[in-house]
Amino acid sequence: MINLQDMRDTARNMLAKNEVRGVIGYRRSTNGMLAEPVVITKPEQADELIWDPTCFHNLSLYLVEDRKFLAHTRAKADLPIAIIAKGCDARSTVVLMQENYFERKDVYIIGVSCEGTGVLDERKLVKKGIRATNSAFDGDDFVFTTEQGEQRIPAREVMADRCLECRECFPKEHNIVLGEDKTGRQLDAPFTALKRFEELDPAARWEFWDHQFERCIRCFACRSVCPMCYCDECIVDSTSFPVTGQTTADEKANRVKWIERSATRAENMTYHMTRVLHLAGRCIDCNECERVCPVNIPLRLLNNKMEREAREQFGYEPGASIGGPSLTASFLDTDPGKFIR
């Protein structure tokens, strides 16, 4: 079990000794039961930190935000920033470092092993009508504290899909780590949900996605929450074209508009397809995009599909090593595509 006091002490000590600028972690939200992200910068704030099954956010997003803030304010950061990272969050931090977004010395990873607990899925809770003030995991079931008393629910019923299929709940890349290196409980084999979906025939799948993309309102929440979507100018959104001092008139005139802004089905589909391709070999299945989608588009199926292709075709695991080659930029002599060899 993770000792919360250890986590708080670690954060407090590092801030007190001025070893880090701040600690990105979780605190209790005003909602009551759920956690929310927080950045603490003073030792006395350390007691705000929490750890429970509602800590589902991928905090590596805030490492990106931190970099952007530093760049924007032209501030210099001498100290690293610390992050509480689950197995999955640590992997996305690795991808960011693999892409040189920041260096290893810029970040202090306080790894937290889920130890197979997994995190909750908000939507599954809502569906079950659970209104609790606290949640915990007792080894088999999730235990919720409600006004009526304790309520136990089997893990499978409320656990996030990605945790059901989790294959690495221990943060391999870390400075210190809390909890043990236990393999995930892995209630389901990896890609189970995808496999189930692929049993549908192509026509049914086409109809399914047709319907899903029809509903997308292009709020770009998926892009905003994704730690990998850190580009200043997104290829799908020409209105965000950054006009800086260096932008030439020619560049402004010649910007390419591959995708229109209008939220029509075809444009939405192009947007999501482009995003999926740009995440190939980079997405580590934190599934934040699907969590924040206001119209519940099952984006995980798309990202999982790319992940499985990369794994089966090239044995590629995103977020495995900082120095390793990236999927789309590297080439293998054993490439299964004969045409390329």
Partner 1 sequence: MTKKRTGVFVCHCGNNIAATVDVKKVAEAMSNEENVVASEDYVYMCSDPGQNAVLQSIKDNKLDSVVISCCSPNLHEKTFRDNAKRAGLNSFTCEIANIREQCAWVHKDKAVATEKAIKISRSAVRRAGRDQALEPIAVPVTRKVLVIGGGIAGIQAALDIANAGLKVILVEKLATIGGHMLQLSETFPTLDCSQCILSPKMVDVSRHENIELMTYSEVQEVNGSVGNFQVKIKQKPSYVDPELCKICDDCAAVCPVVVPNEHDLGLTARRAIHIPFAQAIPASYTLDENACLGLNPVRCGKCKDACDVGAINYDMLPKTVTEEVGAIVVATGYDLYAQEHMNELGGGQIDDVLDGLQFERLCSASGATKGHVLRPSDRTVPKDVVFIQCVGSRDPANHCAYCSKICCMYTAKHASLYKHHVPDGRAYVFYIDIRSGGKGYEEFVQRIMEEDEAIYLRGRVSKLYRKDGKVRVLGTDTLTGQNVEIDADMVVLALAMEPSKGTADIAKTLKIGRDKDGFLAEAHPKLKPVESVTAGIFLAGCAQGPKDIPETVSQASAAAAKVIGLLSQPTLSHAPTVAKVRNSHCTGCEMCVTACPYNAISLENGKALVNEVLCEGCGSCSATCVRSAIEVKNTTGLQIQEMIEACLA
Nearer to partner 1, 44 or 99 (CB): 99
- Is 127 a binding residue for partner 1 by CB under 8 A? The answer is no
Nearer to partner 1, 15 or 229 (CB): 229
Nearer to partner 1, 14 or 97 (CB): 97
Q: Count of residues binding partner 1 (CB under 8 A)?
A: 25
Of the candidate residues 199, 333, 334, 339, the single one contacting partner 1 (CB under 8 A) = 333
Smallest distance, Å, CB 173 to partner 1?
A: 18
Nearer to partner 1, 208 or 241 (CB): 241
Nearer to partner 1, 37 or 324 (CB): 324
Residues in region 83-112 near partner 1 by CB under 8 A: 99-101
Instruction: Report CA-CA distances (Å) from 65 to 23, 81, 224.
Output: 14, 12, 10
From the CB of residue 47, how many other CB atoms can be counted at a distance below 10 Å? 14
- Is 278 a binding residue for partner 1 by CB under 8 A? The answer is yes
Nearer to partner 1, 99 or 207 (CB): 99
- DSSP bridge partners of 38: 25
Residues in region 250-269 near partner 1 by CB under 8 A: 251, 254-258
Smallest distance, Å, CB 299 to partner 1?
A: 17
Per-residue binding letters, 208-247, with partner 1 (x by CB under 8 A)? ----------------------xxxx-x------x-x-xx
CA–CA separation, 339 and 341 (whole Å): 6
- Is 78 a binding residue for partner 1 by CB under 8 A? The answer is no
Nearer to partner 1, 152 or 255 (CB): 255
Of the candidate residues 32, 154, 294, 325, the single one contacting partner 1 (CB under 8 A) = 325
- For 317, residues 6+ apart whose C-beta sits below 8 A from its C-beta are 311
**Residue range at the interface with partner 1 (CB under 8 A); choices 14-22, 119-127, 213-221, 329-337:** 329-337
Nearer to partner 1, 17 or 338 (CB): 338
Smallest distance, Å, CB 333 to partner 1?
A: 8
What does the binding site for partner 1 look like in residue numbers (CB under 8 A)? Answer: 99-101, 230-233, 235, 242, 244, 246-247, 251, 254-258, 278, 325-326, 328-330, 333
